[in-house]
Structure 1
């Protein structure tokens, strides 16, 4: 399913040719794992997608767009919809609008001003989901963007999108951060968004992020924080906003300490925003429960578990 020839070519730009064989071997292993019983079905879906003649891509608009003068076959929408739930978006393929759970363009508008100039830069997008931000980064001038996410469905969603834009220098691989090959400090910019709070050891995750960056490289981190002026963190007992595997929720001061302990400098809080039910909601393309069901009835400032409602911080930091 993955285009390894294009990946091999694009890995040359950041000097990561030595990643070629280990990446290919590990990705093939992930995509043939019998535990993912729907992989054969997803392969058939990708193979059934119609060919659309277009070299007009817009990665700078709110909806990542593939423009086409052709009428896309009616069955294409159903094929893409069969890959639901679509968590990140929106996307537009011809006249098909993929209205994802997250209006990810709102978060992009918060993080984009903090990005150092990306022209000719190599970027790593950790926990990239289906590649919405991966493609927005490309539109922002990056030379190559490598996204990684362990959820195979999200990788398949990206492959469905890339089917309509095969020449772009963006790739999404079914990997976790710690699975990347060694000697990878070749990225100018690394993003980690919505990942840190799922880590049992947040400091280790931050150190792994640091190890991906060249000297003076930039980390752009987005994660959940809780109110408070003291350096401390909350450890949810079971779930947080109905999410499993949320291990620690720090205050901003605690997060800054973690970053400093992990070897980062120039640590700057760019934005903090309480997530709204306008930004994250149920749609046709993600028809399950969303943020509204995770908040306490009558008290949107608390989660259904009685904890502070989701507030997300965007932080910039650099490697010395």
Structure 2
């Protein structure tokens, strides 16, 4: 068995289990190189706090979960006999060492992790429009700590691979997995889309949610997404957009909502045209929703600034820089 051990800890990224699943879903090419690839990534991109985060996870007590809920707003693990107050206090103290918690919510044995984002709201907007995930292989690009990956597994996906280079999100995923158990076909890899082998052409469904506007070349990102999908596979693309007609694109000078790495924010019509230009078919804009300060906000589990701090206090329809306030769209498309 190959397991990628994280320094000083029994917690691992179980690559052996993942590779077995990948080999049954047409991903042998990636499975063959993944162990060495991950070793190289972890060695080349060390994070100074990773050992501390992993040490906290390693202290989490083992609790039997009688009930696991993956298809409810809050990813939940609960026991028939609730843990003692002392055990709950210990768990909460350790989980808070993984601050900030941005994607969720979670409820782990009665500890409610109220994350910055109500990620369930996004899922509720996206889910009615996608091809049912039962039996499908799924890739989630920029998955954060894996909240939506668990929701995908809850809908019956046979393989869910989330990729995100932020190692804090990996630590949070491992903490959640500690309580949900190892039996789920959900895996998070600490890498970006640029680390995925070219022309896999294997996944049934690929999600890219909240990623496109961070890419310097959005067209290249769309081609990268297409290369991961089998012919006839489905792309679920969720991103910031602006109101406007075909051809309109906002290219912020400097920051957008205090974010440095925002490059292109197209109108939905423009983005649909980009997808068609890249060879996608059946392109549909299925949702447009402004982001509210109730969906993204500071909480007891995320103490930093959030959306309310990014908006003009005198005109919340604009960002603090004067750009249109966040509007998010979801598009569905088929890979040729």
TM bracket (short chain): over 0.9
- Give the corresponding residue for 1:51: 62
- Give the corresponding residue for 2:303: 287
- Answer yes or no: is 1:314 the counterpart of 2:334: no
Q: Work out the CA distance in 2 between the residues paired with 1:47 and 1:29.
A: 23
The one of 215, 222, 230 equivalent to 1:199 is: 215
Q: Work out the CA distance in 2 between the residues paired with 1:302 and 1:34.
A: 37
- Answer yes or no: is 1:189 the counterpart of 2:205: yes
- Answer yes or no: is 1:160 the counterpart of 2:175: yes
- Answer yes or no: is 1:171 the counterpart of 2:187: yes
Q: Work out the CA distance in 2 between the residues paired with 1:261 and 1:14.
A: 28
Q: Work out the CA distance in 2 between the residues paired with 1:32 and 1:93.
A: 31
Q: Work out the CA distance in 2 between the residues paired with 1:181 and 1:275.
A: 34
1:237-292 Cα distance to aligned partner (Å, 9 max, x none): 11101112100110112111111111101110110000000000000111100000
Query: What secondary structure does 1:211 align onto?
Result: helix
- Give the corresponding residue for 2:277: 261
Query: What secondary structure does 1:57 align onto?
Result: strand
Count matched residues: 320
Q: Work out the CA distance in 2 between the residues paired with 1:236 and 1:182.
A: 30
**In structure 2, do the counterparts of structure 1 residues 34 and 105 end up closer, same or farther at CA, with 3 Å as the change threshold?**
closer
TM-score by length of 1: 0.97
Gaps of 5+ in 2: 1-11
**8 Å contact kept, 2:23–2:31:** no
**8 Å contact kept, 1:22–1:181:** no
Q: Work out the CA distance in 2 between the residues paired with 1:310 and 1:104.
A: 16
- Answer yes or no: is 1:86 the counterpart of 2:101: yes
Q: Work out the CA distance in 1 between the residues paired with 2:229 and 2:331.
A: 16
TM-score by length of 2: 0.92
The one of 91, 103, 116 equivalent to 1:76 is: 91
**8 Å contact kept, 1:53–1:70:** no
Calculate the aligned-residue CA RMSD, in Å.
1.3
- Give the corresponding residue for 2:29: 18
- Deviation for aligned residue 1:55: 5.2
